[in-house]
Amino acid sequence: MASSSEVSNPSGRPKLVLASASPRRLGLLQQAGIEPDALLPADVDETPLKNESAKDLAKRLARSKAEVARKVARVREDLKDAYILSADTVVVVGKRILPKAELVDEAAGCLRLLSGRAHRVYTSVCLITPKDSVRERLVETRVRFKRLSRDEFERYLASGDWRGKAGGYAIQGLAGTFVVKLVGSYSNVVGLPLYEAAALLDGEGYPVRSSWLDAA
Ligand SMILES: Cc1cn([C@H]2C[C@H](O)[C@@H](COP(=O)(O)OP(=O)(O)OP(=O)(O)O)O2)c(=O)[nH]c1=O
């Protein structure tokens, strides 16, 4: 356990950049007592390559986001030695990669495919250390939705809870009532597998647990 002087002196901790604009990812880290020092969202083209698998897409996008943020951080005096953390979440039904829904028609298409079926959610986490080593973890969660009634279908689309979400749903929102089975990490579906992300940070020398009291 870190001594009180270390714990009470958060500035002793190495800096952490979260390369994300996702309030869900920030919220998950904060829930775990991890407070990023900076948010550097990285706008990358999320279009899948021809015949690219969901796993490869998630890994490639998470890494791209981390690399974009690293270039920005390394030229900032306050972030030049920071850890850079990013993630990308992909929802797939069979081999079909679902889009991140921005339009109601996209959300309707996703729900039609998800209703009454099992699907998989992959989140890839990418960590770049202060010495620019790259560490990646890909986590899979299997989810099964109930068959949605017409009313559930229409009410969900009207809720807008699907906007900006991979696969057109947010398990932490209304869609939580559609989930009849989940095998694996719940936080992985929301957007950041906390066990794996914390283990990655800890394994690379970022003091996850000693920061808990800083967050208190
Ligand atoms: C499946 C699912 C996705 N999501 C969200 C998490 C992510 O914000 C989003 C996945 O899209 P991503 O492209 O992975 O992430 P993002 O564009 O929102 O944020 P950034 O790239 O800046 O990190 O979908 C949920 O909130 N709940 C869910 O159940």
Structure tokens at 79: 């972030």
Nearest CA to ligand 1 atom 21: 20
Q: pLDDT higher for 62 or 213?
A: 62
| pLDDT value of position 12 | 75
Q: How far is the CA of 90 from the centre of ligand 1 (A)?
A: 8
Q: Is the CB of 88 under 6 A from ligand 1?
A: yes
pLDDT band at 209, cuts 50/70/90? confident
CA of 74 to the centre of ligand 1 (A): 25
Token pair belonging to 176: 């939580």
C-alpha of residue 8 to centroid of ligand 1, in Å: 33
Whether ligand 1 lies within 6 angstroms of the CB of 170 is answered as yes
Rounded to an integer, what distance in angstroms lies between the CA atom of residue 64 and that of residue 133? 14
Per-residue pLDDT reduced to its tens digit, 79-110: 999 999 999 999 999 999 999 999 999 999 99
Q: What is the DSSP string of 147-179?
A: PPPHHHHHHHHHHTTTTTEETT--TTTGGGGGE
Ligand 1 near 41 CB (within 6 A): yes
- Write out the catalytic residue numbers: 88
CA of 192 to the centre of ligand 1 (A): 9
Index of the ligand 1 atom closest to the CA of residue 165: 24
| pLDDT category of residue 6 using cuts at 50, 70 and 90 | very low
Verify whether ligand 1 is closer than 6 Å to residue 119 (CB atom).
Answer: no
> Beta strands 134-145 and 179-183: pairing type?
antiparallel
For residue 202, give both structure tokens. Answer: 């800890």
- Pairwise CA distance, residues 62 & 22, whole Å: 13
> What are the pLDDT digits (tens) for 168-207?
999 999 999 999 999 999 999 999 999 999 999 999 999 9
Give the tokens for residue 123: 């989140």
210, pLDDT greater than 70: no
Residue 46 Cα, ligand 1 centroid: separation in angstroms? 12
Percent of the chain having pLDDT more than 90? 88
Task: Determine whether the shortest distance from the Cβ of 100 to ligand 1 is under 6 A.
Answer: yes
What are 111's two structure tokens? Answer: 């729900």
Whether the pTM exceeds 0.90: the reply is: yes
Any atom of ligand 1 within 6 Å of the Cβ of 20: yes
**Residue whose CB lies within 8 A of the most ligand 1 atoms, among 17, 18, 22, for a mutation test:** 22
Domains of the chain plus CATH, in order, are 16-204 (3.90.950.10)
Is the predicted ipTM greater than 0.90, yes or no?
A: yes
Whether ligand 1 lies within 6 angstroms of the CB of 165 is answered as yes
